[in-house]
Amino acid sequence: MTRALGILTPDKGQAAEAVEVPVVPEPEIPQRPPAPPPESPRTEAAGYAAALECVRLVIAWYNRAIYLEERSPSPDRERLDSLISERRACVTDRKYLADAEASEVARMSLVYGRKLRRLLEECPAEWGASQLTDGINGPASSSMRSHSF
């Protein structure tokens, strides 16, 4: 038998022999997990719009609460300062939202959705839930202009 390029070939007049070639396993290359699919612009826009609406409604709640507290027969200055401070934080978050990553937008949507539900549960009976957004362009807005952010 002659050996050509590592393969056994029979000599003239001889039958070929069966040769076992050992199987060499492929080296294992660690696989990275697939990257999550990028969000489509439509999905990102919808998430941003939802987060923005949650923040807007929370700000509206604070505007209404400030308006009512200022016009109460005996306004509680400490509560009023707290409401103004909370509203200011919401306005800051609303500004931040425009440049936030999609994951941060989703987180803010959840945070402000929960906050809105909690505020609505604490809503005084004389407000009525529908009144939260009624005064956005009315008296609560003028109250908002009287306080610096």
- Bigger pLDDT: 120 vs 86: 86
Distance CA 109, CA 53 (A): 9
pLDDT at 2 over 90: no
pTM metric for this prediction: 0.58
pLDDT tens for 96-133 read 998 889 899 999 999 999 999 999 888 765 555 555 54
Query: What gap in Å lies between CA 43 and CA 49, rounded to an integer?
Result: 10
Q: What is the mean pLDDT of residues 82-103?
A: 93
pLDDT of 125: 55
CA distances from 30 to 27, 34, 36, 116 (A): 10, 12, 18, 46
Q: Closest Cα partner for 136 from 93, 87, 77? A: 87
Is 56 a residue whose pLDDT tops 90? Answer: yes
Instruction: Return the domain boundaries, the chain.
Output: 41-145
Chain centroid, CA 10 distance in Å:
71
Q: What is the DSSP string of 42-83?
A: HHHHHHHHHHHHHHHHHHHHHHHHHHHHHTSSS--HHHHHHH
Q: Is the pLDDT of residue 136 over 60?
A: no
Q: Find out whether 57 and 50 touch, Cβ atoms under 8 Å.
A: no
Average pLDDT for 75-84: 94
Output the pLDDT for position 44: 74
